[in-house]
Amino acid sequence: MKPSPRDYFAIIAAFLAVLLCGYGIGFLVGERTTRQRLAHADGSSQTQPDWSAATVERLTRQLSLTAAQQTAVASEVRLTATTIATTRHQAIRQYRSALIDLHQRLLPHLDDKQRKQVEESRKQLQMSLDEDTESSIDANH
C-alpha cells in the first residue's frame, strides 16, 4: 500500500512538533542555566557560607582541630571568604566596565542598525553596573 499525501503531511507535522518541542525545552533549560551562572557571577552570598563551612569542616577533619583551634580557624576562614567575595565583586565590576568601554570603542566601526544593537547591550551592562554599585553602597551602610 502506497502512502498518501495525507500520510506524508502527518509525518512532517509530527516531525515538526518533535523538533519544536525539543527547541522549546532546550531554550528553557538554557535560560535556566544562564540565570544560575549569572547568580553565581554576581558574587552572591549563597556560595560564601557553603565554602566557609565546608572549608572549616575539612580542616577540622584533616588536622584533628580542637574546639579552640576550630573557632580560630573558622574566624580566619570567614575573613578570607570576605576578602575573596570583595575581590570577586571588584573583578566582576571591572569586567563589566571593560565591556562597556569596548562597546563604546566599537561604535565608530558599525552601521546605524549595528550601533543601535550595541547601544542597547551597552545600556543593559551599564544598568547592571549601576545596580551593582548601588547594592554595594547599600551593603556598606
pLDDT tens-digit readout, 43-78:
544 444 588 889 999 999 999 999 999 999 999 999
CB 65 within 8 A of CB 59: yes
Structure confidence at residue 29 as a pLDDT band (50, 70, 90): confident
Distance CA 90, CA 112 (A): 33
Distance CA 92, CA 81 (A): 16
Distance CA 53, CA 131 (A): 29
Q: What is the pTM of this model?
A: 0.51
Q: pLDDT at position 135, please? A: 66
Question: For the chain, how far is it from start to end, CA to CA, in angstroms?
Answer: 80
Whether 133 has a pLDDT exceeding 90, the answer reads: no
CB atoms within 10 A of CB 122: 19
pLDDT, tens digit, 9 for 90 and up, residues 94-105: 988 898 899 899
Distance CA 76, CA 67 (A): 14
